[in-house]
Structure 1
Amino acid sequence: MEETNYYIKVGQIIKDLRLKKNMSRKQLADGICSVSYISRIENGRRCPTSVILRQLTTKLGISNEDLFRLIESPSAMHVQELINQLFLYIERHDFKNIYSLIDKEEKKLHVKSIHDIQLIKFLKCISKTILYEDYKSGIDQIKNILKLTYIEGSNPCGTEFSIMFMYGYFLLLDNQKEEAYNYLKNLKKYCNTIDFFYTRQIIPRFYVFLVLACLDTSNLDECFEYLDFSIDYSKKYNKLSVLPELYFLKSELYYRLKKEEEFKILYNKALTLYELTKHSDDEYFHTFVKNRLIKLKNELNT
């Protein structure tokens, strides 16, 4: 690729991403560089340094690796838009739309990046496994999806980390409680090693699954640390849709500790937060709470 063409392509993609976010040049430049510097980049007259490029891409919601994929393949932009839509559905627990959208689009997609292929396969696997409740098949599929990129013993990237903790969650759903607890707890060490996530919701979602595993294996003492951290994290990064689950799990923890007053306070807080943050088509939380209460009742009666 000629250097001048590279400058032009980088600038055009940065401009396109900025406009998609309804962001002005001044807003993009704020805290990073001058507005004139952004103008020169977008006009193909200046190539940003690696440090500035990373800051710009982070602000635009993609990684440097995503940017280079867009440079190499124009169709990568459509793939990126599809992935963004899929993550919106993920945050809404809309597994039916995830599955139908991938099923509709995957045959006509021209996906060149192994990372994008992995991510799309992963999201389809999640939706199919949850919809059909076929956790054993999901466990097998997800292991193979992880193998597409992950080198054993290395620190995972954001997508690989998500695949790993969903594997742990499927173990839990398959009633392999101790295996799920040990596996998920071992993943906690990676939370501070990952530079980029498609969405900040990944971290509190991981902690939801880890706390579930702790509760289901009676490792209650650990839960306070995990819940307090993930609640603070969700507030800090404005990932409020996870908060109802976290507060409900905290209420369940207090119930298990026979502190009924604290249980009632946190349970009501969880319901209130859900009403404030819910999507009109999202029944996931009610199903989640109902299933946890049934499980709790059955455990306490045995």
Structure 2
Amino acid sequence: MNLTVGEKINDLRKRLNISQAGLANGVCSQSELSRIERDQHQPSYITLKGIADKLGVHITYFLADSDSEREDYLNEVWSQLEQARRDRDYVIIKEIVKLEQDNPLFQTQQARRHLMWHKAILQYHIDKDFKAAINTLKDCLSLSSFDRFSAEINIQVLCSLGIMFRLEGDLLEAKNYHEQAYDLINEITNLKDKRIIAKVRFNLAKVYTDLNELDKSLEVCKHGLAYCREQEDLFAFADFHYQIGHNLIKKGQTDKGIKYWEKAKFLFELQGKTQLAEIIEHDIETFQEHEWV
């Protein structure tokens, strides 16, 4: 008979003669651990890893017998990586990639490619090795297969290639990769991660602005705003407003552009992103002072 995650934790804890309070210390509350052991609460990736570390086993020890639990674990890892990317928390990304790269659960092509993508992010942002990061991303693309999951990773990888080339100042290469990603999101109708559509459009719009292809950028931004409204999702909504304002100001439509910046500032404040709102406020004040002079 296969044991549940909670039963395995309870069994190993008792065999090691560790109290609930002792195991929970520094990981979670004792009441949470009690609920986990009784299978009344699903532990997060971070909590389960903390429990595994204190019990001296790999986290997959608790998942060996159940397909659903393995699937839950994989989804939790992807969720943790997504949050770390948004927070630009490269320390967490590095920890997860190092922990999971030899994990048997991550040897499928899809999982390996997902980890390769994050390895490239680390190579660029931590190791400062642009060439190695680009090679890793291109290797990741070469392993692609013809299914929806591969297509989603392809879009993410193409975006990362575009972002890295843009940061390195190679705008034409950045444009090439972002346009490839843009073509893919228009071809695929059943993407699991809907926010990637807004992300692709915003990144392409920024490159068009950098290349002074302002009308193209405005067109992509307007499609992005329409998509955000359709999805009723504020993700990237403020960013599109800011980029539209940037384009309009570059086109000489100053008053209209600043109104878009003010909308972007309000939207960032609404989302609690006060630092971004302050940056926009500074941009508005700086630009207006320059204009008055």
TM interval, shorter chain, is 0.5 to 0.7
The answer as to 2:171 corresponding to 1:177 is: yes
CA 1:155/1:102 → structure 2, altered by over 3 Å: closer, same or farther? closer
- Name the structure 1 match of 2:115: 120
Contact 1:214 1:220 in 2 (8 A): yes
**Which of 227, 230, 234 is the aligned partner of 1:236?**
230
Query: Partners in 1 of 2:233 and 2:161 — Cα distance?
Result: 23
- Name the structure 2 match of 1:89: 84
Contact 2:248 2:254 in 1 (8 A): yes
- Name the structure 1 match of 2:242: 248
CA 1:250/1:135 → structure 2, altered by over 3 Å: closer, same or farther? farther
Amino acid at match of 1:103: K
Contact 2:120 2:132 in 1 (8 A): no
Contact 1:181 1:213 in 2 (8 A): yes
Structure 2 residue ranges without an equivalent (≥5) = 1-40, 43-64, 288-293
- Name the structure 2 match of 1:58: none
CA 1:127/1:194 → structure 2, altered by over 3 Å: closer, same or farther? farther
Contact 1:156 1:190 in 2 (8 A): no
Contact 1:241 1:277 in 2 (8 A): no
* Equivalent runs, 1:274-293 vs 2, <5 Å: 274-278=268-272, 285=276
**Which of 169, 185, 190 is the aligned partner of 1:191?**
185
Query: Partners in 2 of 1:106 and 1:170 — Cα distance?
Result: 23
Cα displacement (A) at 1:242: 1.4
Query: Partners in 2 of 1:95 and 1:252 — Cα distance?
Result: 29
CA 1:119/1:278 → structure 2, altered by over 3 Å: closer, same or farther? farther
Contact 2:269 2:277 in 1 (8 A): no
Amino acid at match of 2:186: N
Query: Partners in 2 of 1:90 and 1:113 — Cα distance?
Result: 22
Deviations 1:9-29 (A, max 9, x none): xxxxxxxxxx98xxxxxxxxx
Contact 1:142 1:163 in 2 (8 A): yes
- Name the structure 2 match of 1:41: none
- Name the structure 1 match of 2:49: none
Amino acid at match of 2:71: A
Cα displacement (A) at 1:289: 6.3
Deviations 1:108-165 (A, max 9, x none): 56324210121122134225523555433322221112222257xx996111121112
Query: Partners in 2 of 1:288 and 1:135 — Cα distance?
Result: 28
Contact 1:180 1:213 in 2 (8 A): yes
* Equivalent runs, 1:135-154 vs 2, <5 Å: 135-150=130-145
Query: Partners in 2 of 1:121 and 1:171 — Cα distance?
Result: 18
* Equivalent runs, 1:26-105 vs 2, <5 Å: 74-105=69-100
Query: Partners in 1 of 2:192 and 2:87 — Cα distance?
Result: 15
TM-score relative to the length of structure 2: 0.64
Amino acid at match of 1:148: L
Query: Partners in 2 of 1:148 and 1:288 — Cα distance?
Result: 40
Amino acid at match of 2:222: D
- Percent identity at matched positions? 17
Cα displacement (A) at 1:95: 4.0
- Name the structure 2 match of 1:25: none
Deviations 1:175-230 (A, max 9, x none): 11112223322442222222443421111111111011101111111112100111
Query: Partners in 1 of 2:278 and 2:139 — Cα distance?
Result: 30
The answer as to 2:169 corresponding to 1:214 is: no
Query: Partners in 2 of 1:194 and 1:204 — Cα distance?
Result: 14
Equivalent pairs, count: 221
Structure 1 residue ranges without an equivalent (≥5) = 1-18, 21-69, 297-302
